């Protein structure tokens, strides 16, 4: 699709892991080889992107710190969005949600979507790749 054709389309993409790429690899959100960048997004009539704070299993024990770092990366890079680009912040996996006050603070920081689990269990719910007889939400997960 060429640039002129793209200008006729609006996009609403509900997930990308670009924040991790930008944070971990020192890439620019303006232009990169990750899932998406502002240059490519601005080629469309309008473009809304949901940016995930993905907590890779290597960060499971420091999920809250990782979530805060990715939230900070989001805000640092979203200050000068092109006029046709919108961004939504999400959490992919509840490893960083250790209390209701943490959840409320993430919302204050702009998190609008939270997936409770990914492939592995956390203190909120069972993960998709794990099988145990106690699958589902934990007591804390029910509160969340």
Confidence of residue 134 (pLDDT cuts 50, 70, 90): confident
88 DSSP β-pair partners: 50
Model confidence over 28-87: pLDDT tens digits?
999 999 999 999 999 999 999 999 999 999 998 999 999 999 999 999 999 888 999 999
Q: Is 66 helix (H, G, I), strand (E, B) or coil?
A: helix
Specify burial of residue 141 (Cβ count, 10 A radius: 0-12, 13-18, 19+). middle
How many whole angstroms separate alpha carbon 106 and alpha carbon 56?
Answer: 18
Q: Is the pTM of this model over 0.85?
A: yes
Those residues whose C-beta lies under 8 Å from the C-beta of residue 138, and which sit 6 or more positions away, are 123, 124, 125
Question: Running DSSP on this structure, what letter comes out for residue 38?
Answer: H
Residue 5: pLDDT over 80:
no
Query: Any alpha helices (H) in 63-144, and if so which ranges?
Result: 63-77, 100-108, 139-143
Q: What was the pLDDT predicted at 139?
A: 95
In this prediction, residues 86-97 reach a mean pLDDT of: 95
Model confidence over 106-125: pLDDT tens digits?
999 999 999 998 888 899 99
CA triple 10-34-122, angle to 5 deg: 95
34 close to 24: Cβ distance less than 8 angstroms: no
Topology adopted by domain 3-143: TIM Barrel (3.20.20)
């Amino acid at each position: 699709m060429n640039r002129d054709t793209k200008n006729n389309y609006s996009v609403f993409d509900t997930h990308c892991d670009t924040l991790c790429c930008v944070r971990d690899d020192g890439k620019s959100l303006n232009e990169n080889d990750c899932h998406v960048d502002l240059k490519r997004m601005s080629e469309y009539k309008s473009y809304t992107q949901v940016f995930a704070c993905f907590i890779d299993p290597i960060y499971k024990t420091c999920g809250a710190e990782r979530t805060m770092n990715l939230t900070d990366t989001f805000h640092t890079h979203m200050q000068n969005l092109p006029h046709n680009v919108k961004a939504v912040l999400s959490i992919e996996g509840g490893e960083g949600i250790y209390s209701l006050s943490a959840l409320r603070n993430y919302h204050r920081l702009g998190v609008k979507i939270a997936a409770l689990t990914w492939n592995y269990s956390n203190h909120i719910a069972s993960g998709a790749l794990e099988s145990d007889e106690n699958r589902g939400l934990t007591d804390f997960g029910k509160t969340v």
